[in-house]
Structure 1
Amino acid sequence: MAMRLPPVLVLLALACPRTAAPGAAQATSADTGVAAHIDRFIADSLGAVPFSGTIAMSRGGELVFSRGYGLAHREEDVPVTPRTRFLIGSVTKQMTAAAVLMLQDRGRLNVHDPICRHLSRCSAAWGPVTIHHLLTHTSGIPDIFALGFGATRAMPRTHDQLVDIFLAEPLGFAPGSRFQYSNSAYILLGEIVERAGGRPYASFIRDSIFAPAGMASTGFWDNAAVVKHLATGYVVRDGTHRRGPYEDRTTVTAEGNSTYSTGEDLVSWMRILHRGHLLSPGSLRAMLAPHVVRDGDGPRAGQGYGYGWYVHQELGRPVYSHPGIIPGYWSYVAYFPNDDVAIAVLSNSSPNLAPVIRAAASAVFGTSRPGVGR
């Protein structure tokens, strides 16, 4: 488990001037002060394993920072640039949720429909489960990774074969009674989008989200495709970089197994979504409402969850955020609605991106308390 950065170290990082991190690509920045703060944090604060990835940030609809750090391909010393693509994992869930709400706006479904109305196969145990329960991780359907999927994720599987892993499992709790993160739920949402939308999930997302948001560098990786500027994913063990474990991507799934993007594209996604260009006002409000509070004792305990977004406070401000993890890749997006600030951080070797998000937010807000919050 990655160590949490002490607040005092973050404060020192933003207070002590240094040069930019080695390997940093040319910045796109309308605010040199923001760039200097972020560069100092990256150079000074991330210890024995330097940050490798990209950071992009917009404010008021304008891109104010976009820069790459470290190496996209360590074997050939290829640097990360703002054009570098990374797998984004569960950040895809908010796009899946937006697709569901678009279909609701078009009258093709309702989030309070029972899921069995929209699936080709449905367990008898899922009778009381609604689309809303899937979106909010309150369905009780066990997470596929809790059923051994992680050990066999390199095996090619169809959508039906993935569903078979959890189809016969009993619910872990009564739907709606608690929060329990479930990738299985979002795999099912992908099928619901396909059936209600009348076309494959990936096609629907490309046309309904990527295209209107101008996300030209975002897509789905299917193992065999050659994706230009896609970073290699690494894990760090005992201070040494190794290639991340292989995961089969024969089937594109809606929880985020194969989506790749850039920091700038993700900032564009947040801008168009939160400015109300994709969803009706009612659907956007529903997406961002804290329908359930995450319990337990993890780093997100006590935070609300909407449809594909955590809803909480950071630096004394409301924020919507979500992390993503794929073997060798880590991502984190955050949108501060009161300030119209969107931040995306993507990495191919750094598992703890929350301090980077806080440092970037602190720089743009001009606060001296970047370690506050979670």
Structure 2
Amino acid sequence: MHMTSRPRWINAMCIGLLAVGNAIAAPVLTPPDPGIDALLQRYDGQVPGAAVLVLHDGQPVFQRGYGLAVVEDGTAVTAQSNFRLASLSKQFTAAAILLLAEDGRLTLDDPLKRWLPSLPAAADAITLRQLLSHTSGLPDYEDLMPPGATAQLHDRDVLHLLETQDRTLFAPGSRYRYSNSGYALLALVVAKASGQDFASFLKARIFTPLGMDASVAHQDGVDDVAHRAYGYSQIDGRWQRTDQSPTSAVLGDGGIYSSLADLARWDAALYDARLLKPSSLRQAFAPATATDETDVPFYGFGWRLNGQAQWHSGESIGFRNVILRYPAHRLTVIILSNRDGPEPYPLALQIARRWLDTLQ
């Protein structure tokens, strides 16, 4: 009987798990898996695709690429395909601030204007902690962009837009409102406090130490994204490349590119002290503020918190991503997709449930 062989990267990454002590071993799935494949059916074939990874106890128990990273030349999605993370980038920006706090270069309760004094008086009371937790009250820069703007903004352009706004949407620290502006400004703070540009700091202090060698805060004309997945949108029934928008060059809120292979290393670092001290990790995952968002009772620093789940989605033109962690069960689901929809968070919940039902 003829059988189609699986790509080598799937076989290499699908490693079985053994029970440790009295712990229950997670079920091992070797792609193709009918249940997960059915959930991801719309991503399969000659269409913009998705990369899916399930980790348990630090080991990949399911990993597969679906569809195409580059539609025009038929390049398939693999574990090394680098997707624009969009707002998954925020957890790295938060980690950079926490590293600088460990270094004694700043404190989380520093006034924002200590680092960015050009902001107007309305920002006097804002602290770095409030930027991290989306409680600053700063307007979102996307609401301040001129109608029809086509030129790409950078993090410093976000600062210049906010310099014209001597107002906040509410008293700083009084409530939650998700703000991309805060994380763009945090990238500028990282640069000022470290003496390195944001992308270089991430490479030197996070990506290189963790072996995330292909991850990058992408700057057009400065670096190249290896194994790049390009973003697409379905327009008039056809998939068309929509990889960049005027906000795509802002790094602190959404400009990082990474892959399943590298994000597995990132996930591992969130369990121990290889990157951040335990006290810093506790701060990142502690409920910093209550929110009124669906499935987000609380927000930490770059992380949404819902009971035992720690998660974040990422949305930008041509990309939809999610990372969903259940640290009590050492379980993580990551979905990266290079298309405008659908949102992968519901898919991640369904995939996670297959393991949670066994582990609980």
AA matched with 1:110: T
What CA distance in whole angstroms lies between the structure 1 residues aligned with 2:8 and 2:247?
31
Within 5 A, what are the aligned runs for 1:304-319? 304-313=298-307, 318-319=308-309
Structure 1 residues 283, 151: CA separation in 2 closer, same or farther (over 3 Å shift)? Answer: farther
19, 26, 31: which is aligned to 2:10? 26
Partner SS for 1:282: helix
TM-fit CA distance, 1:365: 3.0
Partner SS for 2:10: coil
The C-alpha deviation readout for 1:150-185, integer Å capped at 9, x for no partner, is 853x41445433222222221000111111111110
330, 336, 339: which is aligned to 2:329? 339
In the alignment, is residue 167 of structure 1 matched against residue 163 of structure 2?
Answer: yes
Q: Which residue of 2 aligns with 1:44?
A: 38
Structure 1 residues 220, 149: CA separation in 2 closer, same or farther (over 3 Å shift)? Answer: farther
What CA distance in whole angstroms lies between the structure 1 residues aligned with 2:357 and 2:194?
44
Partner SS for 2:254: coil
What CA distance in whole angstroms lies between the structure 1 residues aligned with 2:220 and 2:32?
34
Structure 1 residues 150, 39: CA separation in 2 closer, same or farther (over 3 Å shift)? Answer: farther
TM-fit CA distance, 1:293: 1.3
TM-fit CA distance, 1:253: 2.2
What CA distance in whole angstroms lies between the structure 2 residues aligned with 1:246 and 1:61?
34
What CA distance in whole angstroms lies between the structure 2 residues aligned with 1:250 and 1:40?
36
TM-fit CA distance, 1:326: 2.1
Partner SS for 1:323: strand
In the alignment, is residue 299 of structure 1 matched against residue 294 of structure 2?
Answer: yes
Aligned-pair identity in percent equals 32
What CA distance in whole angstroms lies between the structure 2 residues aligned with 1:342 and 1:47?
21
205, 210, 232: which is aligned to 1:208? 205
Within 5 A, what are the aligned runs for 1:205-244? 205-224=202-221, 225-237=223-235, 239-244=237-242
In the alignment, is residue 87 of structure 1 matched against residue 84 of structure 2?
Answer: yes
Within 5 A, what are the aligned runs for 1:174-213? 174-213=171-210
TM-fit CA distance, 1:146: 2.1
**Aligned Cα root-mean-square deviation (Å):** 2.9
Partner SS for 1:303: strand
When normalised by structure 2's length, the TM-score is: 0.85
Q: Which residue of 2 aligns with 1:13?
A: none
What CA distance in whole angstroms lies between the structure 2 residues aligned with 1:234 and 1:312?
30
In the alignment, is residue 246 of structure 1 matched against residue 244 of structure 2?
Answer: yes
Q: Which residue of 2 aligns with 1:121?
A: 118
Partner SS for 1:363: helix
Q: Which residue of 1 aligns with 2:24?
A: none
What CA distance in whole angstroms lies between the structure 1 residues aligned with 2:43 and 2:55?
27
What CA distance in whole angstroms lies between the structure 2 residues aligned with 1:241 and 1:69?
16
AA matched with 1:185: G
What CA distance in whole angstroms lies between the structure 1 residues aligned with 2:254 and 2:180?
9
AA matched with 1:246: Q
TM-fit CA distance, 1:229: 1.1
In the alignment, is residue 322 of structure 1 matched against residue 322 of structure 2?
Answer: no
What CA distance in whole angstroms lies between the structure 1 residues aligned with 2:200 and 2:175?
33
AA matched with 2:306: H
What CA distance in whole angstroms lies between the structure 2 residues aligned with 1:210 and 1:137?
25
Note if contact 2:214-2:225 (Cα within 8 Å) is conserved in structure 1: no
Q: Which residue of 2 aligns with 1:35?
A: 29
What CA distance in whole angstroms lies between the structure 1 residues aligned with 2:312 and 2:152?
27
103, 126, 133: which is aligned to 1:136? 133
What CA distance in whole angstroms lies between the structure 2 residues aligned with 1:30 and 1:306?
32
The C-alpha deviation readout for 1:41-89, integer Å capped at 9, x for no partner, is 4432357565821012222122333221111112222211111111101
TM-fit CA distance, 1:262: 0.3
Structure 1 residues 158, 73: CA separation in 2 closer, same or farther (over 3 Å shift)? Answer: closer
What CA distance in whole angstroms lies between the structure 2 residues aligned with 1:57 and 1:233?
23
What CA distance in whole angstroms lies between the structure 1 residues aligned with 2:38 and 2:88?
28
Structure 1 residues 67, 44: CA separation in 2 closer, same or farther (over 3 Å shift)? Answer: closer
Moved more, 318-327 or 342-351: 342-351
